[in-house]
Amino acid sequence: MTKIKAMVFDVYGTLFDVHTVQDACEQHFPEKGQSISSVWRSKQLEYAFLRQLMGQYEPFTQVTKDALHYSLEKHACRYSDEIIQDLMQAYNQLQPYEETKQVLHHFQNRKLAVFSNGPHTMLEPLLQHAGLAEYFDAVVSVDEIKEYKPTTAAYAYVLKQLGVKRNEVLFLSSNGWDINGAANFGFHTAWINRNNLPADKLGQELDKIYHDLNGLKGDW
């Protein structure tokens, strides 16, 4: 295998647990927090994909807010602008997974980057809040070109920003759609299969599969 010159991490679901927002949901809407969070996440992804397909890009902030509205309506929740603001704020304070910081520390001498569907206005506060910003040489957002992952144009963009070749990149994501998109583009891939799910059937081969980020330490 070609020498890996950059490790590129997805953010939501990979470094950070998007479902830590369910506590805030639960606080406003008792007994519905888990379900609200689950629908919120699945609609957030669906809306990003659909907007890309429809040629109607809007930043992930808007997509995330739209998905939150949908989820609250679906759960028959009465809500105010203040509640929306509070839950959107909670999204910028997601908790990293318990091993995230320690694994980034382990690889601190490598070239590390994040590449996310989120815009900088979401990524910077999130990384700052968790004390992870210092570990990354680059924070790259699809918002700079308005092309959501998993299009090849998106992965081509992060590659250009890093100044390496595609087979010198190890891409890491917990999201099936993302890791398969990265493999389709030609990155080396490690799928962080946190929920022990079957592999998605999208015609791609993944290089490595780990249960959490700790698995990286032995192999790379």
Residues annotated as catalytic are 10
187 binds a copy of itself (CB under 8 A): no
The interface region with a copy of itself, picked from 13-21, 84-92, 131-139, 150-158 by CB under 8 A, is: 150-158
Task: List Cβ neighbours of 122 (8 Å cut-off, separation of 6 or more).
Answer: 60, 61, 64, 91, 92, 116
Q: Which of 30, 78, 108, 203 binds a copy of itself (CB under 8 A)?
A: 203
The interface region with a copy of itself, picked from 27-35, 66-74, 100-108, 109-117 by CB under 8 A, is: 66-74
State both tokens at 204: 């791609």
Quote the CA–CA distance of 1 and 168 in Å, as a whole number.
Answer: 9
Of 180, 181, 174, 190, residue with least CA distance to 153: 181
Shortest distance, position 100 Cβ to a copy of itself, whole Å: 26
Closest CB to a copy of itself among 91 and 148? Answer: 148
184 binds a copy of itself (CB under 8 A): yes
Q: Which of 37, 92, 116, 151 binds a copy of itself (CB under 8 A)?
A: 151
Q: Which of 28, 32, 41, 51 binds a copy of itself (CB under 8 A)?
A: 51
State both tokens at 140: 């790259």
Task: List Cβ neighbours of 76 (8 Å cut-off, separation of 6 or more).
Answer: none
**E strands present in the chain:** 6-9, 16-17, 95-96, 112-116, 138-141, 169-173, 188-192, 208-210
Of 134, 104, 110, 129, residue with least CA distance to 20: 129
Angle at 200 between CA 194 and CA 202, to 5 degrees: 145
Q: Which of 52, 100, 141, 193 binds a copy of itself (CB under 8 A)?
A: 52
Q: Which of 2, 34, 50, 144 binds a copy of itself (CB under 8 A)?
A: 50
> Which residues would be at the binding site for a copy of itself (CB under 8 A)?
43, 46-47, 49-56, 58, 66-67, 69-70, 73-74, 148, 150-152, 177, 180-181, 184, 197-198, 200-203
